[in-house]
Amino acid sequence: MEQVRAKKSLGQHFLTDESIAERIARSLTGRTRCLLEIGPGMGVLTKHLVGEPQYRFRAIELDRESVEYLHLHYPELDVIEGDFLRLDLNNIFGDEPFAIIGNFPYNISSQILFRVFEQRNHIPEVVGMFQKEVAERVAAGPGSKTYGILSVLLSAFYDIEYLFTVHENVFNPPPKVKSAVIRLTRNDVQQLGCDERLFVQVVKTGFNQRRKTLRNALKPLNMQLDAIPEEILAKRAEQLSVQDFIFITNNITPEKCQ
């Protein structure tokens, strides 16, 4: 592509298919006024958003060359040069909630999603492209092999839709894997009804040894499991719903010191 050469270390795979960029932009529900794009690169997606009057639009891009390119081609764009993972999300649009959009840098997909989980009360919506495997993992439900930590944590607070798959040959350079676009929409849940920090720990520990039954997988927590029915303890983490994890969190107690 012109001027900017893709840098692998930054997860740069520039989308070359305009119609897909447009489709991603149109996948926003439009309910949120403020909009943050992560990693605009050379602006293929940006151009469908930057002039739209319904949005207050900002972007964050780590790569200096891309930022220069964007300044030149989209002078009206409010682009922050920096790392999304270090961005203070409480200040970016003042107090206003904001949606996140992007063809994301795949090397930091999980970190982006964990930040969304932590900041969920600021982020009503996320639309974006991940590598297909990550998108499937996030969108998976209980009983599926790809169901994991991020599926449970995110689905506790978001409705998650797998929108469409994208072939590797519409990128420059083409990634090794297919991609997919998903949409996360914040649900009404404010409180999980359990100690949330412990919930996260239970989910993470349960999936850490995902082939083991929960009775064994949860041992590292050093908690008493006596109040949990055997039918749950005999299952593996991938078979449990968000509600099951909440139930476990509410019914484990610290081991007594000997």
The least CB distance from residue 223 to ligand SAH, in Å, is 36
The least CB distance from residue 228 to ligand SAH, in Å, is 40
CA 98 distance to own-chain centroid: 14
Phi first, then psi, for residue 185 (nearest 5°) are: -125, 125
CA distance 100 to 185: 11
Confirm if 84 and 39 have CB atoms less than 8 A apart: yes
The least CB distance from residue 158 to ligand SAH, in Å, is 21
Instruction: Please report, for residues 58, 61, 74, 109, 124, the alpha-carbon distance to residue 130 in angstroms, rounded to integers and kept in the order given.
Output: 20, 17, 25, 7, 19
Please say which residue, 61 or 136, places its beta carbon nearer to ligand SAH: 61
Residue facing ligand SAH at closest CB distance: 39
Confirm if 1 and 16 have CB atoms less than 8 A apart: yes
Please say which residue, 12 or 32, places its beta carbon nearer to ligand SAH: 12
The least CB distance from residue 98 to ligand SAH, in Å, is 15
Please say which residue, 41 or 142, places its beta carbon nearer to ligand SAH: 41
Q: Is the bond preceding 173 in cis, omega lying within 30 degrees of 0?
A: yes
Q: By the criterion CB under 6 A, which residues form the site for ligand SAH?
A: 10-15, 38-42, 44-45, 60-63, 66, 83-85, 102-103, 105, 108
The least CB distance from residue 203 to ligand SAH, in Å, is 25
The least CB distance from residue 82 to ligand SAH, in Å, is 7
Please say which residue, 85 or 177, places its beta carbon nearer to ligand SAH: 85
User: What number of residues does the chain have?
Assistant: 258
Please say which residue, 141 or 173, places its beta carbon nearer to ligand SAH: 173
The residues, ordered by sequence, that sit 6+ positions from 15 with a Cβ below 8 Å of its Cβ are 21, 44, 45, 103, 129, 170, 171
Please say which residue, 38 or 127, places its beta carbon nearer to ligand SAH: 38
